[in-house]
């Protein structure tokens, strides 16, 4: 692959705006990035003018169970390809396949397969598919009371031994874990996971304020789909949500589909966590990108109708895409495109400890989304491929 020079109307890296940028890409990486008036395009570079487009970092989805009729806990190579292509069409360049509580043997098998998927993807040439960079373990260390649709018979008490068994099955590729901090043994697991470089996220929890603070002291630094599957916020008993909304040490994510949270609650969240600590996720299931009908979520059957994904009447993930989440945040919270893009790129990357993701700069992998002025995805570039 030779050198390519991209030009567009503007670029959000996303910390700053550059008018009429030139982005030089070679061997899958950004070799230089500057305003057009400050850079001479090398003669050997292939020039691609993207006209009125906005260049932004590719989106990073740290919580996704599936899409395109594929669930990440299945061992299905063709399904994974279809899912990763669909993600790319919606601007996602990297993601964390996310497990759901299941029988122990199924979870261990899924972790082994996902580890193989991650390792193989690192060897893949640029093929226009989003790349899995780590595993998000959602369950089984969650609250029975706030389990959502996670099967109660498969929930487990958190122990370092159980966590290590998952870790070994995943060959160290667990990058994120959702855990209820009030469970006996949870604080020990939080400390152990954080010590291994895992992003520990509190969620599916009935924790009170002080237990949540103890979790932060133990190493938790994020919160999973805030308000959903959580002890409700009380004005005299603020609980886990009170800590999440007021502690600047915690980043936190939401499902901004207009179904999981009312637009006014999205607005409240955005004001509380701000541009630096807001993270957008899809929590998407196999039903994403598919017509209404019945699909799988781990061992569960879910039904999709009118944009809502449910199991036995409870919300069970979503059919949200990250580009739609960005546009919803702009609508619900009045955020500018650059702010909403940051919540879908740099912020999830930072929360998950992905140093070279979610930002456009010299030396970074060339993962970009090409957007229209209203935030619609026109093209996705992954590792320099797709120009």
Q: Which of 61, 71, 208, 283 is catalytic?
A: 283
Q: How far apart are CA 384 and CA 387, in angstroms?
A: 7
Is 283 in the active site?
A: yes
Q: How far apart are CA 312 and CA 309, in angstroms?
A: 10
313: left (phi over 0), alpha (psi -120 to 50) or beta: left
User: DSSP alpha helices (H): ranges in the chain?
Assistant: 77-89, 104-121, 160-169, 186-195, 209-218, 239-246, 263-277, 322-333, 337-344, 346-351
Tokens, residue 176: 């994120």
Find the Cα–Cα–Cα–Cα dihedral 16, 18, 22, 25, rounded to 10°.
10
Tokens, residue 195: 């010590």
Tokens, residue 382: 């992954």
Tokens, residue 25: 């890409």
**DSSP line for 264-279:** HHHHHHHHHHHHHHEE
DSSP for residue 232: P
Q: How far apart are CA 83 and CA 3, in angstroms?
A: 29
Half-sphere exposure of 77 (CA within 13 A, CB side): 4
Parallel, antiparallel or unpaired: strands 293-297 and 278-280: unpaired
Residue numbers annotated as active site: 283
């Amino acid at each position: 692959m030779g050198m390519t020079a991209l030009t567009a109307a503007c670029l959000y890296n996303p910390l700053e705006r550059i008018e009429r940028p030139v982005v030089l890409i070679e061997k899958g990486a950004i070799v230089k990035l500057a305003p057009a008036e400050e850079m001479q395009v090398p003669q050997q570079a292939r020039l691609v003018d993207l006209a009125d487009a906005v260049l932004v970092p590719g989106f990073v989805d740290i919580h996704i169970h599936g899409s395109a009729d594929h669930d990440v806990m299945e061992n299905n190579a063709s399904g994974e390809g279809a899912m990763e292509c669909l993600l790319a069409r919606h601007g996602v360049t990297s993601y964390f396949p996310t497990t759901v509580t299941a029988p122990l043997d199924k979870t261990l098998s899924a972790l082994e397969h996902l580890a193989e998927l991650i390792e193989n993807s690192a060897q893949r040439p640029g093929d226009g598919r989003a790349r899995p960079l780590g595993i998000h373990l959602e369950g089984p260390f969650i609250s029975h009371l706030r389990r959502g649709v996670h099967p109660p018979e498969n929930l487990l008490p958190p122990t370092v031994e159980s966590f290590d068994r998952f870790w070994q099955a995943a060959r160290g590729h667990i990058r994120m874990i959702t855990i209820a901090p009030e469970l006996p043994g949870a604080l020990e697991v939080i400390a152990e996971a954080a010590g291994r470089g895992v992003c520990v996220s509190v969620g599916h929890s009935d924790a009170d304020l002080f237990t949540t603070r103890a979790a932060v002291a133990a190493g938790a630094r994020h919160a999973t789909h805030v308000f959903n599957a959580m002890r409700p916020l009380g004005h005299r008993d603020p609980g886990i949500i009170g800590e999440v909304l007021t502690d600047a040490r915690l980043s936190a994510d939401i499902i901004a589909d207009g179904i999981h949270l009312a637009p006014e609650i999205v607005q409240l969240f955005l004001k509380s966590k701000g541009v630096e600590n807001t993270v957008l996720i899809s929590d998407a299931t196999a039903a994403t990108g598919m017509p209404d009908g019945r699909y799988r979520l781990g061992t569960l059957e879910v039904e999709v109708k009118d944009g809502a994904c449910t199991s036995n009447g409870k919300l069970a993930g979503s059919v949200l895409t990250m580009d739609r989440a960005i546009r919803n945040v702009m609508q619900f919270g009045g955020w500018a495109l650059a702010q909403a893009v940051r919540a879908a790129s740099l912020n999830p990357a930072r929360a998950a400890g992905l140093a070279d993701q979610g930002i456009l700069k010299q030396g970074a992998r060339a993962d970009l989304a090409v957007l229209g002025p209203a935030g619609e995805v026109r093209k996705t570039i992954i590792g320099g491929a797709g120009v």
